[in-house]
């Protein structure tokens, strides 16, 4: 953990631009300084509260001392308001608890090297990253396909060499047979057939090489796509929640395709064109060194201009990527929540929202294409100047009988082979700009360290016993704890209900038991073994979960129930559905268990979706059962039937149940009441009512609400 936490401010006390640092040190000292000059210094033991306040034109951070005085620490422009608030939270947490913590896991927003802000969704500076390192890694991932790709490159090079025979045969035809008028029809036809044969052979070899190359490039893209997808599956919820679904989809699908296109087109042409360039240049130098030098006269100018525009092109296409990703994210969210959109009549608002994002994408894309439309023709024109110079000086040499006509024709034909790589090089920054952005995005996902780290030799213990929370504290941010020093023992086979107000930390406890997150302090044990020492796959296999928000996959009812146990027999699936009181309504659908339910099960009611979700949990026959508002979407009649099924199911199983309707937890062996992240009460339903504490207040409030609703 870092020994200090700093906030960068950009205004002095008189609101003039400056560059200063407000530092909170581990010992509790806060120092405001500009350069080496200390402006303010305060000790945390004297602080009552740190406050970030927004004023007209600026924000400020001040501390309220225990003696009643306020001390201004710094001023800043309002763009830093969020960071200022986080700084104050860290200070206040220390003042309240005496525990030092710093947001070391926070995603950086600025480059440490150049100070530029990162583009949204990108955690790498597009000015300073190691471009050669990224390219080298992209090519290293090609290693499994290297042999076949090299074979394809050889075939493609051979095809190009066959094409190079055509100008040579053409020169022989002109100089030896056509110009002196000494050739026979047979000789002319023979040379023409040789040119046709060289061309045809080149095409055949090209087709073979292209097929091998493209096939392996597709497999290469699939390889990268699988790596990215596998990593997404292994990332924790904390990592995934920092990105939108559209962003992740874009990285896995679109960015890998961009990388594949760059490798298959740019990479292939790079090798092929470089080899052809070297061969043709050698032939031209031996043919006429003077004309060869003339051909390359415009090249230095072109290379200079390309190098000047390279960084601009790279950044422009990075921004275009971001706008494209934003459009996809909006589209994904709107389509996913289309029923909510329609139910609130927000179609026009969503149309305007997407239209705005789409317009921004069109603007940056249009600007990029406009830049390219100006740059590319200009560069190709300058490159083409050499061809006109060759025609001029070559024509003079023919008139002065210093060169043959066939040689000039051969030379001009070879110019196309020389200029093709140069024209390709002019367009290369555009391809590379797009591809490098995609590579950075994909490699960010692949390289991200998972927050949930599996031990090297996990214990395959029996996940059947009780669950114990031992001094567990946790916060999604370390200085904003959701759970504080939780101590709770759940005995084997015991059903414990977790109750509390919204935001008390009930679902967070469930997430920790599932090891979707790890505790910041303390530990959670099953059968006395720390969860961090148990194989995660084994843990999840032996825990059945029904979440408050049900999620069903697009497919049949049968497939959704059997998702928990793919090798389950039809009899087991039906038994699980019956246990969840889902069998009767399933049989009333058009195709029974083979009924397609659509994306997220939109063709079913909320209660039906919930019952299928319960059946899915039952099918796995878990030793530990977690019910997170499992009956929240059911009517009272259906809920009663489900509760009866769950009561039978939970017998002999360790069960944790969270319910909004407290009446549904009366059958629980014990209840644990959470308030502000702590277990403040524990006991049976009757015992807690007698205490007339927080649980009693919650029950009375719900009864009052029910009476109002009935009236």
Which tens digit of pLDDT belongs to each residue from 245-272? Answer: 777 887 888 888 888 888 777 767 777 7
CA distance 292 to 284: 6
**pLDDT higher than 60, residue 107:** no
Lowest-confidence range among 348-362, 385-399, 422-436?
Answer: 422-436
Span 215-220, mean pLDDT?
88
Task: Please tell me the predicted confidence (pLDDT) of residue 164.
Answer: 80
Which tens digit of pLDDT belongs to each residue from 529-549? Answer: 888 888 888 888 888 888 777
Q: The sheet that has 670-675: what strands, in order across it?
A: 543-546, 624-628, 654-658, 495-500, 670-675, 678-683
Classify residue 14 by its DSSP letter.
T
Span 266-290, mean pLDDT?
78
Q: And the tokens for 145?
A: 């396909």
Lowest-confidence range among 28-37, 410-419, 613-622, 690-699?
Answer: 410-419
CA distance 405 to 413: 12
Span 91-97, mean pLDDT?
86
pLDDT tier at 278, thresholds 50, 70, 90: confident
Span 560-566, mean pLDDT?
87
Strands 467-474, 483-490: pairing kind: antiparallel
Q: Distance from CA of residue 427 to its chain's centroid?
A: 28
CA distance 424 to 546: 57
Span 87-104, mean pLDDT?
81
**pLDDT higher than 80, residue 178:** no
Please write down the HEC assignment for all residues of 160-175: HHHHHHHHHHHHHHHH
CA distance 558 to 544: 18
Q: How far is CA 488 from CA 377, 521, 546, in A?
A: 73, 14, 22
Q: Which CATH architecture has domain 458-541+655-711?
A: 3-Layer(aba) Sandwich (3.40)
Span 684-694, mean pLDDT?
87
- The segment with the largest mean pLDDT, out of 243-252, 329-338, 565-574, is 565-574
Alpha-helix runs per DSSP H in 490-629: 506-513, 536-541, 557-561, 570-579, 583-588, 606-619
Q: Bigger pLDDT: 579 or 309?
A: 579
Contacts for 245 with CB less than 8 Å, ≥ 6 apart? 329, 332, 333, 336
Contacts for 84 with CB less than 8 Å, ≥ 6 apart? 7, 52, 59, 61, 76
Span 299-327, mean pLDDT?
72
**pLDDT higher than 90, residue 487:** yes
Q: And the tokens for 198?
A: 């060289």
- Evaluate whether 617 touches 625 at the Cβ level (below 8 Å): yes
Classify residue 257 by its DSSP letter.
H
**CA neighbor of 91 nearest in space, from 47, 41, 38, 32:** 47
Contacts for 397 with CB less than 8 Å, ≥ 6 apart? 403, 408
Task: Please tell me the predicted confidence (pLDDT) of residue 695.
Answer: 86
CA distance 628 to 646: 13
- Evaluate whether 529 touches 462 at the Cβ level (below 8 Å): no
The pTM of this model reads 0.67
Task: Please tell me the predicted confidence (pLDDT) of residue 520.
Answer: 82
Which tens digit of pLDDT belongs to each residue from 515-534? Answer: 888 888 899 998 888 888 88
Percent of the chain topping pLDDT 70: 86
Classify residue 298 by its DSSP letter.
T
**CA neighbor of 483 nearest in space, from 498, 461, 496:** 498
Residue ranges of the domains in the chain?
A: 4-97, 131-447, 458-541+655-711
∠ CA 237-239-242, rounded to 5° = 105
Q: 683: which strand partners?
A: 671
End-to-end CA distance of the chain: 57
**pLDDT higher than 70, residue 641:** no
Q: Bigger pLDDT: 433 or 285?
A: 285
Task: Please tell me the predicted confidence (pLDDT) of residue 105.
Answer: 47
**pLDDT higher than 70, residue 190:** yes
Q: Bigger pLDDT: 417 or 24?
A: 24
Helix then strand then coil, in percent of the chain rounded to 5, is: 60, 15, 25
Q: 628: which strand partners?
A: 658
DSSP notation for 47-78: EEEEEEEEETTEEEEEEEETTS-EEEEEEE-G
Fold entry, domain 4-97 = PH-domain like (2.30.29)
- Evaluate whether 422 touches 383 at the Cβ level (below 8 Å): yes
CA distance 506 to 483: 9
**Across all residues in the chain, what is the average pLDDT?**
80
**pLDDT higher than 60, residue 120:** no
- The segment with the largest mean pLDDT, out of 72-81, 276-285, 473-482, 701-710, is 72-81
Same fold, 131-447 and 458-541+655-711: no
CA distance 275 to 440: 29
Span 490-499, mean pLDDT?
89
Q: Bigger pLDDT: 637 or 474?
A: 474
Q: How far is CA 380 from CA 320, 427, 660, in A?
A: 25, 10, 70
Q: What are the backbone angles phi and psi of residue 68, rounded to the nearest 5°?
A: 100, -10
**pLDDT higher than 90, residue 598:** no
Task: Please tell me the predicted confidence (pLDDT) of residue 73.
Answer: 93
Task: Please tell me the predicted confidence (pLDDT) of residue 104.
Answer: 52
CA distance 440 to 138: 10
pLDDT tier at 22, thresholds 50, 70, 90: very high
Q: Going along 527-669, which residue ranges are E strands?
A: 529-530, 543-546, 624-628, 654-658
- Evaluate whether 152 touches 213 at the Cβ level (below 8 Å): yes
> Which of the four CATH numbers 1.10.3210.10, 3.40.1050.10, 3.40.50.300, 1.20.1560.10 does domain 131-447 have?
1.20.1560.10
pLDDT tier at 634, thresholds 50, 70, 90: low
CA distance 185 to 175: 15
């Amino acid at each position: 953990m870092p020994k200090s936490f700093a906030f960068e401010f950009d205004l002095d006390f008189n609101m003039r631009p400056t560059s200063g640092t407000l530092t909170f040190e581990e010992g509790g000292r806060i120092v405001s300084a500009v350069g080496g000059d200390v402006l303010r210094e305060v000790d945390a033991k004297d602080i009552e509260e740190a406050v970030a306040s927004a004023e007209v034109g600026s924000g400020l951070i001040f501390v309220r001392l225990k003696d009643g005085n306020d001390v201004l620490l710094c001023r800043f422009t309002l763009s830093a308001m969020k960071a200022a608030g986080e700084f104050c939270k860290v200070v206040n947490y220390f003042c309240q608890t005496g525990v030092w913590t710093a947001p070391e896991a926070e995603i950086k927003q600025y480059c440490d090297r150049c100070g530029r802000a990162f583009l949204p969704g990108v955690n790498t500076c597009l000015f300073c990253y190691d471009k050669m390192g990224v390219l080298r890694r992209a090519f290293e991932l090609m290693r499994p396909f290297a042999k076949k790709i090299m074979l394809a490159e050889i075939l493609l090079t051979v095809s190009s060499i066959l094409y190079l025979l055509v100008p040579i045969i053409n020169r022989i035809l002109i100089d030896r047979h056509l110009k002196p008028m000494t050739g026979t029809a047979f000789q002319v036809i023979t040379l023409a057939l040789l040119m046709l044969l060289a061309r045809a052979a080149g095409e055949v070899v090209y087709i073979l090489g292209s097929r091998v190359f493209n096939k392996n490039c597709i497999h290469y893209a699939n390889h990268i796509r699988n790596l990215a997808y596998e990593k997404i599956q292994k990332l924790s919820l904390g990592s995934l929640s920092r990105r939108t679904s559209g962003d992740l989809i874009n990285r896995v699908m679109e960015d890998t395709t961009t990388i594949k296109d760059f490798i298959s087109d740019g990479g292939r042409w790079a090798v092929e064109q470089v080899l052809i360039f070297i061969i043709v240049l050698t032939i031209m130098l031996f043919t006429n060194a003077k004309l060869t030098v003339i051909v390359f006269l415009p090249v230095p100018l072109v290379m200079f201009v390309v190098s000047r525009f390279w960084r601009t092109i790279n950044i422009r296409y990075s921004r275009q990527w971001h706008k494209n990703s934003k459009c996809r994210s909006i589209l994904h969210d709107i389509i996913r929540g289309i029923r909510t959109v329609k139910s609130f009549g927000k179609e026009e608002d969503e149309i305007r929202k997407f239209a705005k994002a789409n317009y921004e994408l069109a603007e940056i894309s249009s600007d990029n294409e406009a830049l390219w439309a100006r740059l590319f023709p200009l560069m190709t024109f300058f490159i083409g100047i050499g061809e006109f110079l060759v025609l001029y000086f070559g024509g003079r040499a023919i008139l002065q009988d210093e060169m043959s006509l066939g040689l000039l024709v051969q030379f001009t034909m070879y110019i196309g082979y020389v200029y093709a790589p140069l024209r390709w090089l002019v367009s290369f920054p555009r391809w590379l700009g797009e591809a490098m952005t995609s590579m950075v995005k994909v490699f960010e996902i692949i390289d991200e360290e998972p927050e949930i780290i599996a031990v090297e030799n996990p214990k395959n213990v029996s996940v059947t016993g009780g669950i114990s929370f031992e001094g567990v504290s946790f916060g999604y941010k370390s200085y904003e704890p959701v759970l504080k020093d939780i101590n709770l023992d759940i005995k084997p086979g015991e059903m414990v209900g977790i109750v509390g107000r919204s935001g008390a930390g009930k679902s967070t406890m469930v997430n920790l038991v599932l090891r979707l997150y790890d505790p910041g302090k303390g530990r959670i044990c099953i059968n006395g073994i720390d969860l961090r020492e148990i194989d995660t796959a084994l843990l999840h296999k032996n825990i059945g979960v029904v979440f408050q928000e049900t999620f069903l996959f697009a497919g049949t009812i049968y497939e959704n129930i059997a998702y928990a146990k793919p090798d389950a027999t039809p009899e087991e699936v039906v038994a699980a559905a019956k246990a969840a009181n889902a069998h009767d309504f399933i049989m009333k659908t058009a195709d029974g268990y083979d009924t397609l339910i659509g994306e997220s099960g939109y063709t079913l009611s909320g209660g039906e979706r919930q019952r299928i979700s319960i059946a899915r949990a039952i099918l796995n026959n878990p030793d530990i059962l977690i019910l997170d508002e499992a009956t929240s979407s059911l009517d009272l009649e259906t809920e009663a039937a489900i509760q009866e099924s769950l009561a039978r199911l939970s017998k002999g199983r360790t069960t944790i149940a969270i319910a909004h309707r407290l009446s549904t937890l009366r059958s629980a062996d014990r209840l644990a009441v959470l308030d502000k992240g702590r277990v403040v009460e524990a006991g049976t339903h009757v015992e807690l009512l007698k205490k007339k504490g927080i649980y009693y207040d919650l029950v009375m409030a719900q009864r009052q609400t029910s009476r109002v609703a009935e009236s």
